[in-house]
Structure 1
Amino acid sequence: MSAEATNPATPVPLTQGTFRRKTRARIDLRRLGRAALLGPTARNALPDAISHVAEAHRAHHPDADLEALRRAYVLAESSHRGQMRKSGEPYITHPLAVTLILAELGAETTTLTASLLHDTVEDTEVTLDQVGTEFGAEVRYLVDGVTKLEKVDYGAAAEPETFRKMLVATGNDVRVMSIKLADRLHNMRTLGVMRPEKQARIAKVTRDVLIPLAERLGVQALKTELEDLVFAILHPEEYATTRELIVENAASGADPLAAIAEDVRAVLREAGIQAEVLIRPRHFVSVHRVSRKRGPLRGADFGRLLVLVGEDADCYGVLGELHTCMTPVVSEFKDFIAVPKFNLYQSLHTAVARGDGEVAEVLIRTHQMHKVAEAGVIALGNPYVPSAAPEPDTEAAVDGERADPTRPGWLSRLLDWQEGASDPDTFWSTLREDLAQDREITVFRPDGGALGLPEGASCVDAAYAQYGEDAHACIGARVNGRLATLSTVLGDGDTVELLMDQDGSSEPSREWLDHAHTPAARIAIQRWLAAHPTDSTDSTDTTRPPASHAHARPAALTAGTTEAPHPDRPEASAVVDLPGAAVRIAGCCTPVPPDEITAFAVRGGVVTVHRVDCAGVARMQNSGRTEVGVRWGDTTECRVTLVAESFGRPHLLADLTEAIALEGVGIVSATVEPPTQQRVRHTYTLQLPDAATLPVLMRAMRNVPGVYDVGRAPR
């Protein structure tokens, strides 16, 4: 009985003429079951039941030794003998089908051996030690990685903890998840024998966890079929409508994609480029998405053209010919060869238009790229066998997202944050949220290293990705050389420099949770807030010093208060060419020696002295004020107004005022504005004993952790 016959929710085979991938015919599981029960006819002969597996395996690995597969099948068949699936087939048909899926994708012998045995430890008397003794440590590890935890021991936590166990195992050997994905695909194909509520529950887990994992591992062949099977179960009405659209298009007889494919072949033949041009039908979910995006579909919307060539350079040659000889849709061009996706995918995407308005999307890639695009990490073969000729950039790419394709960056981050999510419910909900972020960006550190982050990540996420829990002391960032708050959303290719509080006194704010998108950041912040409940309510008050500093630092002022000026402290001495006039230093720009200055006569016989670049000078001139000659006198003591820009953190005001006091400078008044977007603005009017100390003072203020700029009052 075929898988479709036992599964009413499985997409029904389409009528003749419908676009369909060229794949191996579906295996008759009932025939395999009979062969499994009969067993081999000769002691060391390859059993008939795995002949299809052997054929598919040899197509990718002609020199493969099949002895391990034979022994694995014999053990699996004898162990599962007498067990039946709910669909009525002998149980051995399930590991056979899972192994065939992997063999057709090009999995190597060790993976296939483990897939034949993947349910033996879970459902039979076979032990892990027995598997290890007979087949080696690698097969033992893979079988252990996909073996479920018992509900008797874990209760409701069995499912999330099983997935945690699989993911941790995948971190050491990515082939664990390859077997799990193939296992789930075959189970989804035969899900129709289950109760509807169980179908829906399994389909939701597949949608939320396994499909995103298949996408991240680049196994598009499994991902697309899983998507269609889930679509049929969870959205039967939309599935039926989409299927009807596909059937109607197939029955229409019009085939614009075939005509465009012929045009493309003619262009490439004339250019002398050897290429294979294929029509790739869209799967059900893809057609559904396109119809929602574009409205009524035209014939060319039901598929895409795939151009396969031999070398990378030929991809760009094909692109150039198509854009020269046909009408390109430039907005559709994407280069995933120069900038591969995080899941190993490489291809050129473009689109060409015909005169009648039909637009065909075109994918251009090499045969090897196509193999990886379909099978992802499975196409790597055994990724743990050292390559005879390692890539020259391997060492240089150690920080990159693609440096180790068997341990991609997203998986490393997932394994890091799961350690902090000990509660199964927290892990399960966070895992689903994490996997729902299906696009990634790469940002660069100033030292050239790279960080992989989900799309929409902020500087908060970058901080925890780079520093872990040490990111609690992060006070700001520079993005592409410009100062930015921690809430700044990062874009692909940005360079981010994280600014850390050197004395470690800074603490995370509850507001950071609003800007944290990665589980690692959220879990670390929540854990810190839970450990500091009394401090968390004050975390946003980044300017008020603690009471203990009030008597120890007499210069420290409370935010927003102003100290009265000291009339007995002289301002800088300026001599004006207007005898008898009272001279005042303008508060708008507070000039000090050796600033260039000018002066204006105002009411009451007073002359105000301004810096020549002060905005008030233009106003004075426009209002007709009389400009008066002025020069600096001999007195070195002066008054100046400085503005300090900083990121908010506890004790900042106290540290700033202490730095000012240590330079022997008196504070006449101080104003601290309320924090906005984690930034704080301080304005100080200061009495300097000598104008020459101003540069030293400003440098000392800039050296206070959290302060990123100090300047003269801009007014």
Structure 2
Amino acid sequence: MSAEATNPADPAPATPGAHRRKSRARLDLRRLGRAALLGPAARDRLPDAIGHVVEAHRAHHPDADLEPLRRAYLLAESSHRGQMRKSGEPYITHPLAVTLILAELGAETTTLTASLLHDTVEDTDVTLEQVREEFGEEVRYLVDGVTKLEKVDYGAAAEPETFRKMLVAAGNDVRVMSIKLADRLHNMRTLGVMRREKQERIARVTRDVLIPLAERLGVQALKTELEDLVFAVLHPEEYEHTRELIAENAAHGDDPLAETADQVRTVLREAGIPAEVLIRPRHFVSVHRVSRKRGRLRGADFGRLLVLVNEDADCYAVLGELHTCMTPVVSEFKDFIAVPKFNLYQSLHTAVTREDGEVAEVLIRTHQMHKVAEAGVIALGNPYAPASDDPADGERADPTRPGWLSRLLQWQQAAPDTDTFWSSLREDLAQDREITVFRPDGGALGLPEGASCVDAAYAQYGEDAHACIGARVNGRLATLSTVLKDGDTVQLLMGQDPASEPSREWLEHARTPAARIAIQRWLAAHPVSAETFGGASAPGARDSLDDAGAHAPGLGTAARRPALPARPTTDTPGVRDANAVVDLPGATVRLAGCCTPVPPDEVTGFAVRGGVVTVHRVECAGVERMKSAGREEVGVRWGDTTECRVTLVAESFGRPHLLADLTEAIALEGVAIVSATVEPPSQQRVRHTYTLQLPDASHLPSLMKAMRNVPGVYDVSRAQHPATTVH
């Protein structure tokens, strides 16, 4: 993977500790080169070249079986023998260095075995079948997962398709990505011999893809060093300025964090809390970010305090002591123990103010939390061990299968070409934070921060989300454009029409590649429909209703239905009807349009000008207004006839054919439409008002139920205000 690489003049380390690590890496590399030139060791004896790998491995796994490492090294060394890096070292130094990185982070034996072999299939005559026969299926799978596709076969698509192959493999075994990250780190450490153009290209891919992957897998130790190496290549002037800031601060001698660390140790010792207090210097990119945020940096800005304890409860005990005995900056407090980050990270974050006004940031975590914070999924050992004690169970626990990876695996299958996949991958990985939203059935969806209901729909239903007509967020109706927050409960409302169409406007609210790719695929497959009608709620599309003459802007196209029988309306807002009998001889009775009473509603009447009595439901707001105006109240009862008129309001989400489907549902109930009005859509919601002639008032509940059952309709109610009809 790195036959062209060699040792550069390494970027200056961000801290003395980093300097020691880099110096050790250079010494190890020279020692690896010398050991590899001596050839393999005697049979059954560990070769000298992997002695430091074994030492690091045993520190994390004292009982590990070292035989696979010995055999893997012998195969790798013999296979790569004669291959040299541009630096002049034997090629075997690269897989050894990659394996050392993983061993120091605590990777288990299977990962280290595959790491030693990770370039053999790509660069030598070793075959995957040979790896399987000698080391088993797991090692073969890991080696295959990180083996690059050939440019001769894929051309310019080789690199993005290699990443696609690796990510798909990581869906079954995330250790594939662990090896890839360590491989890229060593290649970045040895990048200097390449021409400037190639250095920048590799650094950009590292920035856009590998660093976000390291962040998502929680491998901060690799992520921070990769960030510094990329920073040095892509922003050399800013890197040099940051290096000077760090050097100037170190030259001052007095470190305010050292004094604060002593104070913290004293506080915790007096409280009887066993703890280790360390100064954790910021790496280059972190110093650069803080300097841009705060301007002139002070001594405490160049690092943070790290407090390590034994138990979770001790973390909160430390927090209580610090906030009691020192001056806390309350706005800086974050609890990532109670609510861990999506990449497994757990820690308490706080800050205290020193007497000189400087602010010292403090991280509080257990030793195990610290191990996971540094090494992420690598620190979990083998996450694919059987979930139960019964080896025949076959169940495998996988705590490293995060939501973002599941989403990525889903949408990458739908990416129509390499360019779409590559651009969508970078876009997806650019999302810094993830949120979790819950379904009413108790399930959960992981989404990037800023995701909308559109994204939730496609995350849950795939391309079936084309039929989504709305959502309820935390129990309240919401448009599909609603941006979701961490912890929201989302109920997606799905239509039943198989011809349902997504709206081009949905692209404006889609933040996930899964949603964008699915919508774009539909639009590309339906160019006429997309251009003419713009999807479910595009402006300018129309739906027609022949019988009542009502037009509904924004509802898409509708098939023309046979004209429904219509009844003429009177010239007054009320509706003349003989069903209501009033206690005022000779009076003309009108049912009020504001509440459209029907049998068996409890009603009352008021005498108005012209010998007319208007009849209202007793709960109608118009009753109080009539009484306040001094209108004479008249007794009303229902007569023997059952035919009546009623005004209903249907609230719905806009979609194609909705108006036609509603009128058909009404007609199937044997009800005549007297008049209908459809208001212009607002935020994808549409309001329909119908005045209807019922043959029997008792049929009203079933009519309202039939209307509610029309896909897209989320409520049907009796009119509570004067309705304007279209004749």
TM-score > 0.5, shorter chain as reference: yes
Output aligned runs, 1:27-426, within 5 Å. 27-28=26-27, 29-40=29-40, 42-386=42-386, 404-426=398-420
Distance 2:565 2:195 in 1: 71
Farther-moved stretch of structure 1 (38-47 vs 537-546): 537-546
* TM alignment of 1:453-464, pairs within 5 A: 453-464=447-458
Q: How many residues align?
A: 696
Q: CA separation in 2, counterparts of 1:241 and 1:81?
A: 43
Contact 2:5-2:193 at 8 Å conserved across structures: no
For residues 180-228 of structure 1, the C-alpha deviation after alignment (integer angstroms, 9 at most, x for no partner) is 1001001111111111111110000001110111111111100010011
Note the C-alpha offset of 1:40.
4.2
Which of residues 657, 682, 687 in structure 2 aligns to 1:651? 657
- Which of the numbers 502, 508, 528 marks the counterpart of 2:502? 508
Quote the residue 1:671 is aligned against. 677
* Mapped contact 2:559–2:657 kept (Cα < 8 A): no
Following the alignment from structure 2 to structure 1, what is the Cα–Cα distance between the partners of residues 623 and 456? 45
Q: Which amino acid aligns with 2:460?
A: Q
Equivalent in 585, 593, 610 of residue 587 of structure 1:
593
Paired residue for 2:527, among 518, 529, 533?
A: 533
Deviation at 1:250, TM superposition (A): 1.5
User: Which residue is equivalent to 2:709?
Assistant: 703
The residue type paired with residue 473 of structure 1 is: A
Structure 1 CA distance for aligned equivalents of residues 151 and 652 of structure 2: 54
Cα contact 1:132–1:139 (8 A) shared by 2 = yes
Deviations 1:675-705 (A, max 9, x none): 2222111011112233333223222211222
Q: Residue 673 of structure 2: SS of its match in structure 1?
A: strand
Task: Kindly indicate whether the alpha-carbon contact (under 8 Å) linking 2:220 and 2:374 is maintained by their aligned counterparts in 1.
Answer: yes
2:146–2:180 CA contact under 8 A, matched in 1: yes
Amino acid at match of 2:431: Q
Q: 2:724 matched to which residue of 1? A: none
SS of the residue 2:385 aligns to: coil
Tell me by how many angstroms 1:459 deviates.
1.1
Q: Give the deviation of 1:34 after TM superposition.
A: 1.9
Q: In the aligned structure 2, how far is the partner of 1:385 from the partner of 1:24?
A: 37
Q: Give the letter aligned to residue 232 of structure 1.
A: A
Instruction: Give SS of 2:536's match.
Output: coil
Change (3 A) 1:376 1:545: farther
Contact between 1:545 and 1:651, CA under 8 Å: does it hold in 2?
Answer: no
Counterpart check, 1:662 vs 2:661: no
Match for residue 632 of structure 1 among 614, 630, 637: 637
Q: Distance in 1 between matches of 2:87 and 2:565?
A: 78
Selected match of 1:431 from 425, 440, 447:
425
Aligned residue for 2:24, secondary structure, equals coil
Amino acid at match of 1:194: M
Structure 2 residue 487 is the aligned partner of structure 1 residue 487: no
Give distance in 2, aligned partners of 1:283 and 1:615.
68
| Contact 2:565 2:672 survives alignment (8 Å) | no
Equivalence for 1:468: 462
2:651, 2:472 → 1: CA distance?
Answer: 14
Q: Deviations over 1:435-459 (max 9, x none)?
A: 1112100111111111111111111
2:550 — aligned with what? none
1:54 is matched by which residue type in structure 2? V
User: How much has 1:556 moved relative to structure 2?
Assistant: 9.4
What SS does structure 2 have at the residue aligned with 1:57? helix
Distance 1:85 1:706 in 2: 64
Q: CA RMSD in A?
A: 2.8
TM-fit CA distance, 1:79: 2.0
Within 5 Å, which residues of 2 pair with 1:675-690?
675-690=681-696
Deviates more, 1:22-31 or 1:632-641: 22-31
Aligned partner of residue 518 in structure 2, secondary structure: helix
Spell out, residue by residue over 1:127-169, the C-alpha distance to the aligned partner (whole angstroms, 9 max, x if none).
2222222222222211111111111111111111111111111
SS of residue matched to 1:592: coil
**Unaligned stretches of 5+ residues in structure 1:** 558-562
Distance 2:598 2:57 in 1: 84
Cα distance, 1:576 vs. partner? 4.5
Per the TM alignment, residue 464 of structure 1 is displaced from its structure 2 partner at its CA by 1.4
Pick aligned residue for 1:555 from 536, 546, 564: 564
Query: What letter matches 2:563 in structure 1?
Result: P
Post-superposition offset of 1:481 = 0.8
Stretch moving more, 476-485 or 254-263:
254-263
Q: Using a 3 Å threshold, how does the CA distance of structure 1 residues 545 and 149 change in structure 2: closer, same or farther?
A: farther
1: distance between equivalents of 2:683 and 2:669? 31
Alignment CA distance shift 1:315-1:21 (3 Å):
farther
Q: Tell me which stretches of 4 or more aligned residues in structure 1 moved more than 6 Å.
A: 18-24, 545-551, 566-569
2: CA distance, partners of 1:474 / 1:556 = 33
Q: Please, which runs of 5 or more residues in structure 2 have no aligned partner?
A: 547-556, 722-727
Change (3 A) 1:549 1:15: closer
* Aligned-partner SS, 1:544: strand
Deviation, 1:594, is: 3.9
Deviation at 1:497, TM superposition (A): 1.0
- 497-506 or 486-495: bigger deviation: 497-506
Any idea what the Cα deviations from partners look like across 1:538-576, whole Å, max 9, x if unmatched? 22358726999877543399xxxxx85278984254444
Determine if contact 2:76/2:92 at 8 Å carries over to the other structure: yes
When structure 1 is superposed on structure 2, of 296-305 and 171-180 the one drifting more is: 296-305
Q: Spell out, residue by residue over 1:209-254, the C-alpha distance to the aligned partner (whole angstroms, 9 max, x if none).
A: 1011111111110001001111111112221222222222222223
Cα distance in 2 for partners of 1:181, 1:543 equals 54
Write the distance in 1 (CA, Å) between the matches of 2:558 and 2:291.
66
**1:560 matched residue in structure 2:** none
Q: Distance in 2 between matches of 1:611 and 1:455?
A: 49
**1:498 equivalenced with 2:492 (yes/no):** yes
User: What displacement does 1:621 show?
Assistant: 5.2
Q: Are residues 524 and 4 of structure 1, via their aligned partners in 2, closer, same or farther at CA, if it must alter by over 3 Å?
A: closer
What is the CA distance between 1:324 and its match in structure 2?
2.1
Moved more, 444-453 or 584-593: 584-593
For 1:587, give the aligned amino acid. G
Aligned-pair identity (%): 81
Q: 2:632 aligns to what SS in structure 1? A: strand
Q: Partner of 2:551 in structure 1? A: none
Aligned partners of 1:151 and 1:103: how far apart in 2? 31
Q: Offset at 1:123?
A: 1.5
Deviation per CA, 1:400-438: give whole Å up to 9, x if none: xxx832322211111111111141111111111111112
- TM-score normalised by structure 1 residue count: 0.91
Give, in whole Å, the separation in 2 of the partners of 1:23 and 1:373: 21
1:540 maps to amino acid = A
Residue 452 of structure 2 contacts residue 482 of structure 2 at CA under 8 Å; is this kept in 1? yes
Instruction: Name the aligned partner's letter for residue 534 of structure 1.
Output: V
SS in 2 for 1:669: strand
Matched to 1:113, the amino acid is T
| Distance in 1 between residues matched to 2:459 and 2:112, nearest whole Å | 36
Alignment check: 8 A CA contact 2:605 2:636 kept? no
Code of the aligned partner of 1:565: T
Question: Which amino acid in 2 is paired with 1:454?
Answer: P
